[in-house]
Chain A
Amino acid sequence: MSRLTGGLIDRSAALSFTFDGRTYQGHPGDTLASALLANDVRLMGRSFKYHRPRGVFSAGSEEPNALVQLRRGARQEPNTRATVAELFDGLHATSQNRVGTLAFDLMAVNDLVAPVLAAGFYYKTFMWPRAFWEKLYEPVIRRAAGLGRLSQLPDPDAYDTGFLHADLLVIGGGAAGLAAALTAARSGARVILADEDFRLGGRLLAERDPLEMPVPDWIAALEAEFASLPNLRVMRRTTIWGTFDHGVHGAVERVSDHLADPGGRVRQTLWRITAKRTILASGATERHIPFADNDRPGIMLSGALRAYANRWAVTPAAHVAIFTNSEEGHRTARDLAAKGVGIAAVIDARPDVPKTEYRTLHGHVTGSRGRLGLRSVQVTAAGRHEWVDCGALGVAGGWNPNIQIASHHRGRPVWDEAAQTFLAGPGGPVGLTVAGAAAGQGSTAQALASGARAAVAALADLGIAAQLPALPVAEDQAPDATPLWHVPGKGRAWVDFQNDVTVKDIALAHQENMRPVEHLKRWTTLGMATDQGKTANVTAIAVMSELTGQPIAATGTTVFRPPYTPVALSVLGGGDTGPQFRPRRLTPTHSWAEAQGAAFTEVGPWMRAQYFPRPGEATWRDSVDREVLAVRAGVGVCDVTTLGKIDVQGADAGAFLDRVYANAMASLKVGMVRYGLMLREDGFVWDDGTCARLAETQYVVTTTTANAGTIYRHMEFCRQCLWPDLDVQLISTTDAWAQLAVAGPRARDLMSRIVDGVDLSNAGFPFMACASLTVCGGLRARLFRISFSGELAYEIAVPARHGAALMARLVEAGADLGATPYGTEALGVLRIEKGHAAGNELNGQTTAQMLGLGRMVNPKKDSIGAVMSRRAGMVADRRVLVGLVPVDPAHSVVAGSHLFAEGAVQDTDHDQGWITSACHSPHLGSAIGLGFLEDGAARMGEVIIAANPLQGQQTALRVTSPHFIDPDGGRLRD
């Protein structure tokens, strides 16, 4: 055990966990990383490309190396950073990205062939032979690359989405964030404080006595005050992962990731936080100093060593060395020495090394030894080498402010020559200010003061007066600023640990002219791993600047995109999976159809009855054929509520519809219905439907189910944006009226039984008539004599709540007439047999002329799309809608097949059209289809070939009229 004294862990309780099958003990307050170090486990993973042994490198969310798989079974989660995984009893963790054991990874052979795998090797190596890419290279690379593995099982956990609003959002709960939140909350403003850690305090928890009083005491007092302020919401375990326009932030709260089982709770919540002002107090990440073989387990950031000792009371080794270019390294040495850890040496790169109570050497670390963990480091000074034995090395190269979120919009980081760091530049998110170490205010005193000042300024912007609070006396040692970017030498010196990018790779990119930072990134994959280069990018830019001889400011910088740290797709989905994936709309007859045993199908967001199986029917075709024949022979009833209905009222309703529809509507007589064709402004057909004039100033128009929303939007556009001078009002009534189609030769008999006192004879209520009336003894209704099936047919609309009752009444009242409910399949067969166009034909690529409706586009008036429909190219299209039947009745017709003349070469140049719709026609006893065919009207009787290369089908079809039944229309008119 490598436990030290003190720390913020609860030693009164023991937590048991496993890593790679072995059981260990830790305490509440531990992370997986601190608990593994306490159990003398230094080897935690393998690197991405070379499979080098790797240990923990940091003590926070920037961790590049210690990526593990957490949990098992369906809850298995790959690529989790051990440094932020809160320990719980029963935690099951395994190492990843290895073949064999972690200590003996067979893929480590990659390290021996490293020269082949240098920067850009993907681009150079796998170019030829071309066919090898898909069959050989890609599968092999895919297997070798990637880190952890997904469970491939459905996620058993629940997720949630929430919305929060605040005057001020404070990102980060360290010294600056706490001071900002305290200042703002005392003013009465609505404040949210979010921190990714499970304990507030940030870097304060990692230092020895940064305040005049013990840190836990100060934070406990703050938390007590926070709890008394209802205007402040403190969100622990919450990462702000992105900032979006106008003060909208994405946040993930890990509600129960620290529990073995979420129980009844959600696992994570996706919060959308809208804040008027934001303070980014996200701290800083320590820089390392690349030197030869600097990636062995045991080599880590100096500040991380300090954090493990002070917060978690643990050291990775009994004897440690420090490599530093500033006072930072000595701070670590003193903190560790105070806890009884042996200081093998501090290697200080500065020429004037301070006098210390431990061994301090001037020089550089130039190498390391130890296969699975550090044993010694090589120190070089003035050309002389010395090996220093140590089990861990802390590297202190200065600090990089965490400004990622400040550049999620346009703002680019700018190089600050005095501070020798990148700081947030202009053009960042409006309303966001940066405070504390993230703003280069790195001492504890600076951080506290800058947080409080930022809060006062942000609230003053909103007209809220806040007072600077009394803050504790604090450590005020600002980091000094003479960076040492890397130690020159022959060995491989890692810059980006997670993606295995070395100083040599950057030199190679420079040599190959991949010098701009964006090219460097793509050539070497620098910063493209799951850690997004938090410990690598700035160092890499500095190394490139050295190679080009340009200052860093001229070399460039990278901007950042969300997410700040990895976010699981499952929480972004917010639990909207399966039936919750999108809202489902149910028709008024849904429960009635369910009771009849109907099969349902999704039609956009609607669930519609597809067919109504009966006992003895073996397949869906049996049911559909029966329903179709019942309509043709007797009468059928179908719920057609899903078609869009728009009520159009006003003195100018007719004039308005004249401009919206290609054909005339103002001339329609009251009490009559007309088929309506709508074009897009570019002249192609958009939608069709019926237009019924119920009164002088009232029309009801219908749209296809799919376009109900878009056509309503378009008509509102026409009303408000194009012709606001017209006196017309629109409202969508799709959901208000249940509408049922009643079709078949006995439809009039059936309707006569339910309609109250209206003459339905052909003279009294002819084809295309409409009326407001009552049914079933007083229920208000609208009746339309329109047909989609080619039969005598009506559509009857009643208030939606009576839809199911009306359906039941019709089927019951028509039992002796053979009244049969039918679903969307039969509806489709009936309309194909009649040659009616539907969605398959109105696919956005067809013209009125192709549909045989060219003459409907009225040349005497201006309407949407009329002008463009007369374009020469569109008028020249010779394809028209035809019917198609197989020459051999045993053959089927496949929609999507393309049409060719017999014997023609089957390529684009000879393509003569395509099949849009196909079905089996029980009326004809064979397959039939509709399609667009060049000069189709002149080719009746000709045999053509339908080619379906996807399934290797070549079918001979005979061209016919698209009206397979009743071409003269006698059935629906009589």
Chain B
Amino acid sequence: MLIPHPLLGLRDASEFTYLGDAALLDRPDGMAPDAAARFHDYVHLRDNPAGLHRELWFHEQGDRSWLVVTRNTLTHEILGAELARDVKTGGAA
């Protein structure tokens, strides 16, 4: 598989380490009153879509960027990749 790194261009997937669903970006506030219930969902519940999936990849053998990669789980087509930092802060720097 080849992943289009937003800074480095097409890189082989073997340079990356996979984590999973990009929903992990949305960590609940641990001090909130309903933290226990929200962490239960955050830690344990994942969608497993047949189709488009936004997921986290770490360029471990590269520039150590965390990326949000949009991948079709049926075809393995990759529709794009963004720096996770940009996704989290709401736009490219």
- Which residues of A are interface residues toward B (Cβ below 8 A)? 244-248, 274, 409-410, 427, 430, 681-682, 709, 713, 716-717, 720-722, 724-725, 861-863, 866-868, 870-871
Report B71 CB to chain A, min CB distance, Å. 10
Most buried by A among B66, B74, B84, B85: B66
Q: Is the CB of B35 within 8 A of A867?
A: yes
**Given A862-B30, A862-B31: A713 and B17 interface contact (C-beta under 8 Å):** yes
Contacts of A867 in B (CB 8 A): 28, 30, 35-36, 39
0/1 interface trace, chain B 41-80, chain A, CB 8 Å (1 if under): 0110000000000001010100011100000001111100
Q: Is the CB of B77 within 8 A of A720?
A: no
Q: Is the CB of A868 within 8 A of B74?
A: no
Complex-state Cα separation, A725 to B89, whole angstroms: 8
Complex-state Cα separation, A861 to B29, whole angstroms: 10
Q: Is the CB of B89 within 8 A of A682?
A: no
Q: Is the CB of A245 within 8 A of B76?
A: yes
Complex-state Cα separation, A871 to B43, whole angstroms: 13
Q: Is the CB of B25 within 8 A of A722?
A: yes
Contacts beyond the supplied A410-B74, A721-B25, A721-B56: 16 A-B pairs with Cβ under 8 Å? A245-B1, A246-B1, A247-B2, A248-B1, A248-B2, A274-B2, A681-B43, A717-B58, A720-B65, A720-B66, A721-B66, A724-B89, A861-B31, A863-B30, A867-B36, A870-B36
Q: List 26 A-B contacts (CB under 8 A).
A: A245-B1, A245-B13, A246-B2, A248-B2, A409-B75, A430-B75, A681-B39, A709-B60, A713-B58, A717-B24, A717-B58, A717-B66, A720-B85, A721-B24, A721-B84, A721-B85, A722-B88, A724-B85, A861-B31, A862-B30, A862-B31, A867-B30, A867-B36, A868-B39, A868-B40, A868-B43
Query: Nearest residue in B to A681 (C-beta to C-beta)?
Result: B43
Q: Is the CB of A721 within 8 A of B88?
A: yes
Report A684 CB to chain B, min CB distance, Å. 11
Query: Nearest residue in A to B60 (C-beta to C-beta)?
Result: A713
Contacts of B1 in A (CB 8 A): 244-246, 248
Complex-state Cα separation, A709 to B83, whole angstroms: 21
Query: Nearest residue in B to A710 (C-beta to C-beta)?
Result: B17
Report B37 CB to chain A, min CB distance, Å. 10
Report A682 CB to chain B, min CB distance, Å. 5
Query: Nearest residue in A to B84 (C-beta to C-beta)?
Result: A721
Contacts of A717 in B (CB 8 A): 19, 24, 56, 58, 66
- Which residues of B are interface residues toward A (Cβ below 8 A)? 1-2, 13, 17, 19, 24-25, 27-31, 35-36, 39-40, 42-43, 56, 58, 60, 64-66, 74-78, 83-85, 88-89
Query: Nearest residue in B to A725 (C-beta to C-beta)?
Result: B89
Contacts of A863 in B (CB 8 A): 30
Contacts between chains A and B (CB distance < 8 A), count: 72
Contacts of B76 in A (CB 8 A): 245-246, 409
Query: Nearest residue in A to B36 (C-beta to C-beta)?
Result: A867
Q: Is the CB of A716 within 8 A of B58?
A: yes
A-B interface, 6 closest residue pairs, ranked by CB to CB distance from nearest = A862-B30, A246-B2, A245-B1, A245-B76, A867-B39, A724-B85
Complex-state Cα separation, A717 to B17, whole angstroms: 12
**Given A717-B58, A720-B65: A862 and B85 interface contact (C-beta under 8 Å):** no
Query: Nearest residue in A to B87 (C-beta to C-beta)?
Result: A721
Contacts of B64 in A (CB 8 A): 716
Query: Nearest residue in B to A732 (C-beta to C-beta)?
Result: B64
Complex-state Cα separation, A871 to B85, whole angstroms: 31
Complex-state Cα separation, A862 to B27, whole angstroms: 11
Contacts of B13 in A (CB 8 A): 245
Q: Is the CB of B35 within 8 A of A720?
A: no
Complex-state Cα separation, A796 to B85, whole angstroms: 36
Complex-state Cα separation, A173 to B85, whole angstroms: 48
Report B3 CB to chain A, min CB distance, Å. 9
Complex-state Cα separation, A216 to B66, whole angstroms: 56
Report B89 CB to chain A, min CB distance, Å. 5
Contacts of B35 in A (CB 8 A): 867
Complex-state Cα separation, A684 to B51, whole angstroms: 33
Most buried by A among B19, B30, B60, B76: B30
Contacts of B77 in A (CB 8 A): 430
Complex-state Cα separation, A56 to B43, whole angstroms: 59
Q: Is the CB of A862 within 8 A of B29?
A: yes
Contacts of A861 in B (CB 8 A): 31
Contacts of A274 in B (CB 8 A): 2
Complex-state Cα separation, A720 to B42, whole angstroms: 18
Contacts of B75 in A (CB 8 A): 409-410, 427, 430
Complex-state Cα separation, A721 to B84, whole angstroms: 6
Complex-state Cα separation, A709 to B13, whole angstroms: 18
Query: Nearest residue in B to A730 (C-beta to C-beta)?
Result: B64
Report A711 CB to chain B, min CB distance, Å. 13
Complex-state Cα separation, A863 to B39, whole angstroms: 12
Contacts of B27 in A (CB 8 A): 722
Complex-state Cα separation, A274 to B2, whole angstroms: 10
Report A308 CB to chain B, min CB distance, Å. 43
Complex-state Cα separation, A862 to B65, whole angstroms: 25
Contacts of A681 in B (CB 8 A): 39, 42-43
Complex-state Cα separation, A721 to B1, whole angstroms: 23
Contacts of B31 in A (CB 8 A): 861-862
Q: Is the CB of A871 within 8 A of B84?
A: no
Report B47 CB to chain A, min CB distance, Å. 18
Complex-state Cα separation, A681 to B83, whole angstroms: 23
Complex-state Cα separation, A682 to B45, whole angstroms: 12
Report B15 CB to chain A, min CB distance, Å. 13
Query: Nearest residue in A to B39 (C-beta to C-beta)?
Result: A867
Query: Nearest residue in B to A724 (C-beta to C-beta)?
Result: B85
Complex-state Cα separation, A452 to B72, whole angstroms: 33
Contacts of B74 in A (CB 8 A): 410
Report B90 CB to chain A, min CB distance, Å. 10
Report A348 CB to chain B, min CB distance, Å. 46
Complex-state Cα separation, A724 to B64, whole angstroms: 14
Complex-state Cα separation, A247 to B78, whole angstroms: 13
Q: Is the CB of A720 within 8 A of B89?
A: no
Complex-state Cα separation, A862 to B36, whole angstroms: 12
**Given A720-B66, A721-B66, A725-B89: A866 and B58 interface contact (C-beta under 8 Å):** no
Complex-state Cα separation, A246 to B69, whole angstroms: 15
Complex-state Cα separation, A247 to B89, whole angstroms: 34
Query: Nearest residue in B to A682 (C-beta to C-beta)?
Result: B43
